[in-house]
Amino acid sequence: MKDLAIILQKVVIKPYYRQNAGFFLVLFIFAFGLQSPPSLLLSPVFLTDVISEPVFITAVLLLFFLYYLKCFNFINKTLNAPENSFLQITALLPFKLLLYNLIRVHALLFFPALAYTLLMTVYAFLQKHFLTGISIILYNMVLLFCSAIYFYRKLSGPLTANVKATFFPRITFIPVLNTVYLWYWRYLVAQEKVLFFLTKVFSGSILLVFLNMYPYPNYDLRPTQIGFWTAVVSHVMLIQRVQLFQEKDLAFLRNLPYSHLRRFWHQALFYGLCLIPELVLIVWHLPFSTTILFIGQLFALGISFMLLMHALLYLQNQSLRKYVWQVFFIFMAFLLFFLTSPPLYLLTVVISATAYVIFSGKYYAYEPEKTETAA
C-alpha cells in the first residue's frame, strides 16, 4: 500500500532528517574531511582492521546500537504526538503490510548504520570471516524486527498518546533546580537524554582521536585546538533544542526583569557546564602545569562559540538549514584560521562580543514560528 508509505515518509522520515541535518553534517566532516586516507572509515585498511578485531567490531556495533536508540526514540515520540493519533487507524491494515512498513521506516532512519554494516559484512565474507558476517546481518535483523513488533503493538493497542516509552529509564532523582541556567540541564536529562548522550559520546570521541593521534609535545597544540573546536561544533543540534525549549517552555522568562547581560551570563554558565567532559579529557592528556593558560583560553573559546551558535538562532527568518550552514561556514573559516596560531584570548573576545551584540539586538524581536520552520 503506497499511501501508507507516503504518509509515514512525511510524518516520520522527512522530519527526522530535517531535525538531524547538523548531526549528519558533523559526522560527514569527521568521517571524510578530518581523516588521512588510510584511516578513512570507508577505506579497505580500516575495514580490514575492524573485521579482524572482535573488540573493534563490538565497539562499532555498540555505537550503532546507540544510533538505533536515537531512531527508536524519535519514532516513539512521533507516534506519541497528539497530531499523529490518526496513525492508530493503520492497525486495521493486514499484519504483514503494517509490519513491513514499520520495518521500512526504521530501516530508512537507520540507513547510515545499515549501509556501513553491510559494507562490513562484505569485507567479512571476502576475508572468510563468515561467522562475523552472519552475526552482523542477524544483529541488524533483530534490531529492526524488535522495533517493528513494538510499534505494531503500540498502534494496534488503545490510544496511548500520553504514554512515553523509551529504552532509557526515567530519571526521578533530579533535584529541584531553582537556578535558571540549571533548568536547561534538567530539560536535557529528562527529555533529551538520548541526544545529549550521543552528542557527548561523539564530541568526546572526536577529541580523543586528535589527542591520541597528535599527542603533545610530539606535535604542537594546533591539532588539539582543531579537535576541541570540532567537538564544540558537534553540539549544534543540542544548542538548537535548548534554545527551542527556552522559547517554548520558558517563554515567561522574557517578562522577568533580567538584563541582557544577565541572560547572556546564564547561557555562558550553562554551556560552560556542558563542556566540562571535554575539558576533563584535555586536562587528562595534556601536562596541566605547563599548559594551564592554554587550557583556560581554549575552554573560554569553546563557551564563546556555543554562545554564538545560540545567538544565531535569534536572527530574523532563521531556518534550521540556514542555521546549520552558517555554523558550518564559520567552523570551516576558523578551522583554517587556527593554522596561523592566532591568540585564543583575542578570538574569545571577538566571538563573545559578536554573540552578545546579536543576542541583545534580536532577543525581544525574536518570533519562534519563523525559527522553527525547517527548509
Q: What is the DSSP string of 149-208?
A: HHHHHHHHSS--TT----SSPPP--PPP--SHHHHHHHHHHHH-HHHHHHHHHHHHHHHH
CA distance 214 to 106: 38
- Report yes or no on 33 lying in a domain: yes
Instruction: Tell me the three cell numbers of residue 158.
Output: 488503545
Give yes or no: residues 66 and 20 share one domain. Answer: yes
- Report yes or no on 271 lying in a domain: yes
CA distance 355 to 184: 19
- Report yes or no on 174 lying in a domain: no
Contact 82, 161 (CB under 8 A): yes
Task: List the chain residues with pLDDT less than 50.
Answer: 34-39, 159-177, 370-375
- Report yes or no on 226 lying in a domain: yes
Element (H, E) at 334: helix 320-337
* Per-residue pLDDT, 165: 43
pLDDT, one tens digit per residue, over 273-304 is 888 888 888 888 877 665 778 888 889 999 99
- State the first-to-last Cα distance of the chain, in angstroms, to the nearest integer: 28
Give yes or no: residues 328 and 255 share one domain. Answer: yes
Give yes or no: residues 273 and 340 share one domain. Answer: yes
Please give the DSSP secondary-structure letter assigned to residue 29: I
Element (H, E) at 254: none
Give yes or no: residues 258 and 320 share one domain. Answer: yes
Give yes or no: residues 57 and 118 share one domain. Answer: yes
- Report yes or no on 277 lying in a domain: yes
pLDDT, one tens digit per residue, over 14-52 is 888 887 777 666 666 655 554 444 445 555 666 666 677
Give yes or no: residues 144 and 191 share one domain. Answer: no
* Per-residue pLDDT, 27: 64
Give yes or no: residues 202 and 241 share one domain. Answer: yes
Please give the DSSP secondary-structure letter assigned to residue 33: I
Sign of CA pseudo-dihedral 354, 361, 254, 248: negative
CA distance 326 to 45: 35
For the chain, what is the domain count? Answer: 2
Residue 91 CB neighbours (<10 A): 14
Give yes or no: residues 186 and 308 share one domain. Answer: yes
- Report yes or no on 170 lying in a domain: no
φ, ψ for residue 164, nearest 5 deg = -110, 110
List CB contacts of 110: < 8 A, sequence separation 6 or more.
Answer: 67, 68, 71, 140, 143, 144
* Per-residue pLDDT, 140: 85
- Report yes or no on 161 lying in a domain: no
* Per-residue pLDDT, 304: 92
Domain residues for the domain of 31 are 2-156
* Per-residue pLDDT, 173: 38
Give yes or no: residues 12 and 57 share one domain. Answer: yes
Give yes or no: residues 139 and 188 share one domain. Answer: no
CA atoms within 13 A on the CB side of 197: 14
Give yes or no: residues 149 and 185 share one domain. Answer: no
Give yes or no: residues 152 and 196 share one domain. Answer: no
* Per-residue pLDDT, 288: 63
- Report yes or no on 137 lying in a domain: yes
* Per-residue pLDDT, 221: 79
Contact 8, 105 (CB under 8 A): yes
DSSP string covering 336-371: HHGGG---HHHHHHHHHHHHHHHHHHHTTT--HHHH
Residue appearing with cell numbers 537556578: 179
